[in-house]
């Protein structure tokens, strides 16, 4: 069955998440909207700040549509950021040009106690308005993907106050103050369920949970701070919205991917660039896999990219699969390479092999 998108009103992206084998696999890219696109840079230069883009529904809609217009991916991810949730809870967030996110770091129990769900829905209304307007503007066959950061990754930014390679301040705070940290994780779990549910109610057909910093934790903390909250989030969403698949992304989890998938029970799992594909295919059970082309390969393009794409498609043949990168599109990427990638993934295998 080639290209289910041709004769189905259901977007092809959700088919493999619901148990259907698709050849060729559907494709979308993490960070498919962003700085590698000249039309994004033009709009970004006119807006006051990155967060203004996120909180202005017309701008967020336009940016979400930019890559879909150019390339016709099977999925469109809402243009927003994981840090809108901490912002809505009261950890004021800003993005410093050329540096990255800055938050007032949570220093003690009192600071955690001041965070509140009370204004979350109101603060994030522009995101839900954007979801509605994107859904109305997208082709029926393009799935709209909502997303949120996972509790550990959000807590890591809130405690650290900025990005970091190791998140040492966040990890030591969590180990020293388990009760306070536990309250923070519980609050974030509740906030993430509310934020994902609201995106689903506004029109998202799939949601993805980004645990970008799962890879800095040893096994016991990974289980308590990543696996357990993700399990609660997936269970709550299955209860409220059983028809909407959840894709989880515990980036850097390595061998811990196996227990995570088993314990969390998602419809799909996104693999980072370091995960051996044949291992994932043979070990991760009855779940849809997504990934895992190295974004650097997409920067380089040409025969290097074609070789890697061929390897991934060959390894995943016969497996429920969504083609994606192992992390976000890099700003250095040539937009023409993205067009070539999509064409290559959609070319039947026999033809691509010259048969």
- Among positions 86-105, residues that touch ligand CP3 (CB under 6 A) are 95, 100-101
**Applying CB under 6 A, does 328 fall inside the site for ligand CP3?**
yes
Catalytic one of 36, 55, 128, 157? 157
**Applying CB under 6 A, does 212 fall inside the site for ligand CP3?**
yes
**Applying CB under 6 A, does 79 fall inside the site for ligand CP3?**
yes
**Applying CB under 6 A, does 83 fall inside the site for ligand CP3?**
yes
**Applying CB under 6 A, does 70 fall inside the site for ligand CP3?**
no
- Region binding ligand CP3 by CB under 6 A among candidate stretches 15-23, 76-84, 105-113, 192-200: 76-84
**Applying CB under 6 A, does 269 fall inside the site for ligand CP3?**
no
**Applying CB under 6 A, does 150 fall inside the site for ligand CP3?**
no
Binding mask 286-325 for ligand CP3 (x = CB under 6 A): ----------------------------------------
User: CB of residue 351 vs ligand CP3: minimum separation in angstroms?
Assistant: 30
**Applying CB under 6 A, does 133 fall inside the site for ligand CP3?**
no
Active site residue 81: yes
> Using CB under 6 A, which of 62, 74, 81, 308 touches ligand CP3?
81
Report the candidate in 89, 93, 92 with the shortest Cα–Cα distance to residue 117: 89
**HEC sequence for the chain:** CCCHHHHCCCCCCCCHHHCCCCCCCCECCCCCCCCCCHHHHHHHHHCCCHHHHHHCHHHHHHHHHHHHHHHCCCEEECCCCCCHHHHHHCCCEEEECCCEEEECCCCCHHHHHHCCCCCHHHHCHHHHHHHHHHHHHCCCCCEEEEEEECHHHHHHHHHHCECCCCCHHHHHHHHHCHHHHHHHHHHHHHHHHHHHHHHHHHCCCEEEEEECCHHHCCHHHHHHHHHHHHHHHHHHHHHHCCCCCEEEEECCCHHHHHHHHHHHCCCEEECCCCCCHHHHHHHCCCCEEEEEECHHHHHHCHHHHHHHHHHHHHHHCCCCEEEEECCCCCCCCCHHHHHHHHHHHHCCHHHHCCC
> Which residue, 91 or 212, is less far from ligand CP3 as judged by CB?
212
**Applying CB under 6 A, does 335 fall inside the site for ligand CP3?**
no
Active site residue 74: no
> Which residue, 33 or 305, is less far from ligand CP3 as judged by CB?
33
Active site residue 31: yes
> Using CB under 6 A, which of 27, 59, 82, 288 touches ligand CP3?
82
- Region binding ligand CP3 by CB under 6 A among candidate stretches 5-13, 17-25, 72-80, 174-182: 72-80
Active site residue ranges: 31, 35, 44, 81, 157
């Amino acid at each position: 069955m080639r290209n289910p998108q041709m004769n189905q009103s259901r977007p092809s992206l959700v088919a493999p998440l619901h148990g259907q084998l698709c050849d060729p696999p559907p494709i979308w890219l993490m960070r498919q909207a962003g700085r590698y696109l000249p039309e994004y840079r033009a709009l970004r230069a006119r807006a006051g700040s990155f967060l203004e883009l996120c909180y202005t529904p017309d701008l967020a809609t336009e940016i979400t549509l930019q890559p879909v217009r150019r390339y016709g991916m099977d999925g469109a991810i809402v243009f927003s950021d994981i840090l809108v949730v901490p912002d809505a809870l009261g950890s004021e967030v800003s993005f410093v040009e050329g540096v990255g996110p800055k938050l007032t770091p949570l220093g003690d129990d009192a600071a955690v106690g001041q965070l509140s769900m009370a204004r979350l829905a109101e603060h994030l209304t522009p995101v839900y308005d954007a979801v509605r307007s994107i859904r109305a503007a997208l082709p029926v066959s393009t799935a709209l993907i909502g997303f949120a950061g996972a509790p550990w990754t959000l807590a890591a930014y809130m405690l650290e106050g900025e990005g970091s390679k190791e998140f040492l301040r966040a990890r030591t705070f969590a180990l020293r103050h388990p009760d306070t940290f536990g309250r923070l994780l519980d609050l974030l779990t509740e906030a993430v369920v509310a934020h994902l549910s609201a995106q689903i109610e506004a029109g998202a057909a799939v949601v993805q949970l980004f645990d970008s910093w799962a890879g800095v934790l040893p096994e016991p903390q990974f289980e308590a701070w990543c696996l357990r909250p993700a399990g609660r989030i997936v269970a709550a969403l299955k209860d409220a919205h059983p028809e909407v698949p959840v894709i989880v992304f515990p980036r850097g989890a390595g061998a811990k991917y196996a227990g995570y998938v088993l314990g969390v029970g998602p419809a799909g799992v996104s693999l980072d660039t370091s995960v051996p594909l044949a291992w994932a295919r043979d070990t991760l059970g009855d779940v849809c896999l997504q990934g895992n082309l190295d974004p650097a390969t997409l920067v380089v393009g040409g025969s290097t990219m074609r070789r890697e794409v061929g390897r991934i498609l060959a390894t995943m043949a016969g497996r429920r699969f969504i083609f994606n990168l192992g992390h976000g599109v890099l700003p250095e990427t040539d937009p023409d390479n993205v067009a070539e990638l999509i064409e290559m993934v959609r070319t039947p295998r026999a033809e691509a092999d010259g048969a």
